[in-house]
Structure 1
Amino acid sequence: MRRSAIAYKIWKYFMSPEAHSTVVAIAKNEGRYIAEWIAYNFAIGFDRIIVFSNDSTDETDRIVSRIRARDRRVLLIPWPSLPETSPQVSAYRHALRIVDTPWIACLDIDEFLVPFADGSVGGFLKRIPDDVSSVHINWRNFGSGGRISADYDFVTKTFFHCADPHWENHHHFKTFARTKLATDAHIHTIWVANGRQVLSDFNEFEMYNRGMSDRIAHDGIQINHYQSKTFEEFRQRMLRGDANYASDHPRDHSRERFALLDRNEATDMTIAMFEARFDAEYKRLIL
């Protein structure tokens, strides 16, 4: 772990001091999606991106390294599994120790932040009241839209059917936190030492389960959660196991569970507002 801290210090040396936000993810065999995720996060205005690679055996590391060669704001940190240790939680906790931008967020590779009211991460951060230390942003879960084949180019340009806004899974959230006040991290939550903890409407809430809020707010910003995609993609992801555990034991990858998550009763195309910026970033980083 010490080598990653040294790598971060070297990486930080080349960074602009005006950076305000870092997004962190842990990835395991996400080569199919990682380039889109990185390009999108630059398109919406994140200043730095850290990818912890957890025992990836596909093209993930090569793709991230190639992107890093074009943009030094990306950092790849190998993060092997250890016995009795959650790779995801330990990676997030390590990120809290090394990140020095004012704000930090931890997202999965199937999660895309959509700051539709402000048009950028920076615009959203400027609106956060000074007494707020963490903003907990609710999911909007997207389904397959009836798609069977995975022969598409980009997740964000393919899946627009989603669950009703009041679906119970939308109580899940991910956290934007003031880095200096962050004390601990889990899968969905970053805890802070003091200050108000709010949802995206900047009003306080109760956490009735770790990582779940007692109400749902999609007030100007949401997290598009592409948990389903096609059944075959869902199945492959579940077979990789859970990054919250060191074991490779597969998760429930049955058609019955897919059917529970594959919600398509509504349509949401707000992410399309970032398409032109995404195309430019993807061309700059990949093509």
Structure 2
Amino acid sequence: MLRTLFSRKNITKLSIIPPKAAEGRAGIALVLIVRNEERHIAEWARFHLAAGADFFVVYDNGCTDDTIPILRQLIPEEQLSVIPWDQKLRDGVTGREIHNQVLAYAHAIRNFGPRFRWMACIDADEFLVPVQDRSLGEALEPLKRCPNVSLPWHNFGRCGHQEPPEGGVIPNYTQRAAHPASGARGVTNFKVIIDPVRVTAVKVHSYETDGQTATWNDAGKMFNLSARNSEAFYSSERLQLNHYYTRSEQELAAKIARGSNQTVNAARHAQRVRRNVANIEAETVEDRSALKFLERIGGL
């Protein structure tokens, strides 16, 4: 108790009471927190609409560009909710910063979760790719007994681009880190597709469901949360999470200049990002999974 009281670390985990399921709940909702993503947000939205996402909960973290108007133009009104979310909040007793993404995800689960069988909280540089099927719903159908499914990052680097190329992210970035599994060379984390009515604790990259720390890979195999860093956990049998970590060098420099979404030392943040990029690009393989999906459905 005293250790928590005097800790200076940010609050990155929130416990929640799971929402009650609405009658007839179905489909998948995507939760996104954005700030000035106008260059790529149209491609992100079109891709996930084509992949069968049923609803989009967008948290506007102080956009000053056309990110939100683009989303409103592309996504039907009945499938979109935009929520102002430009804030930094701290615990009133300890002064610890509360992670703004975690707050958004907890809010989305409680307020939108009852309507949907699945929910995924991802970023604008992350694409949920059905590996064999024609939609996210088809890919998730064999996993319906799972309360959550952890997907490892498949990290894509600059792919030799100094400036943003014409034609979008998916066709221009096809080289990724060769080792998605944790513990190997590269930068690995996870995003999780959840059954929102079973979530009892929220972090950015992990959840507790039914009060337990178990998680499932996309082959439907259960592991303790701590074991998903093992080679045995790795699977991209049905779904792959493509994480376009840097895009071009110009955009990488802008990412570093923009800083972290938490209050951290700028120089250390820049060093960490550059180190991550070097690890991602140290050993790469070609990955055309997103292009193959688009070819399978006839494009966007």
Identify the TM-score tier after normalising by the shorter chain.
0.7 to 0.9
Query: 2-side partners of 1:146 and 1:264: how far apart?
Result: 14
Query: 2-side partners of 1:164 and 1:38: how far apart?
Result: 27
Opposite residue 112 of structure 1, the aligned amino acid is F
Match of 2:209 in 1: 192
Match of 1:13 in 2: none
Q: CA 1:279–1:77 in 2, change beyond 3 Å: closer, same or farther?
A: farther
Opposite residue 114 of structure 1, the aligned amino acid is V
- Aligned pair partner of 2:102 in 89, 110, 120: 89
- Kept in 1, the 8 Å contact 2:35–2:62? The answer is yes
Match of 1:142 in 2: 156
- Aligned pair partner of 2:230 in 202, 206, 214: 214
Deviations 1:111-133 (A, max 9, x none): 11111122211112211152x21
Match of 2:178 in 1: 164
Deviations 1:137-170 (A, max 9, x none): 1111112221222132311121001111354446
Q: Which has the larger radius of gyration?
A: 2
Name the SS of the counterpart of 2:98 in structure 1: coil
Match of 1:73 in 2: 79
- Aligned pair partner of 1:119 in 128, 131, 134: 134
Match of 1:7 in 2: none
Query: 1-side partners of 2:254 and 2:162: how far apart?
Result: 14
- Aligned pair partner of 1:271 in 290, 297, 300: 290
User: How many residues matched?
Assistant: 259
- Aligned pair partner of 2:46 in 39, 49, 54: 39
Give the TM-score normalised by the residue count of structure 1. Answer: 0.80
Q: How does 1:216-231 map to 2 (within 5 A)?
A: 216-231=234-249
Superposition misfits of 4+ residues, deviation over 6 angstroms: none
Opposite residue 267 of structure 1, the aligned amino acid is E
Query: 2-side partners of 1:35 and 1:264: how far apart?
Result: 30
Q: Offset at 1:20?
A: 1.0
RMSD: 2.6
Q: CA 1:193–1:178 in 2, change beyond 3 Å: closer, same or farther?
A: same
- Kept in 2, the 8 Å contact 1:182–1:192? The answer is yes
Query: 1-side partners of 2:25 and 2:171: how far apart?
Result: 31
Structure 2 residue 62 is the aligned partner of structure 1 residue 62 = no
Identity level (%) = 26
Give the TM-score normalised by the residue count of structure 2. Answer: 0.77
Structure 2 residue 35 is the aligned partner of structure 1 residue 28 = yes
Deviates more, 1:247-256 or 1:58-67: 247-256
Query: 1-side partners of 2:65 and 2:85: how far apart?
Result: 15
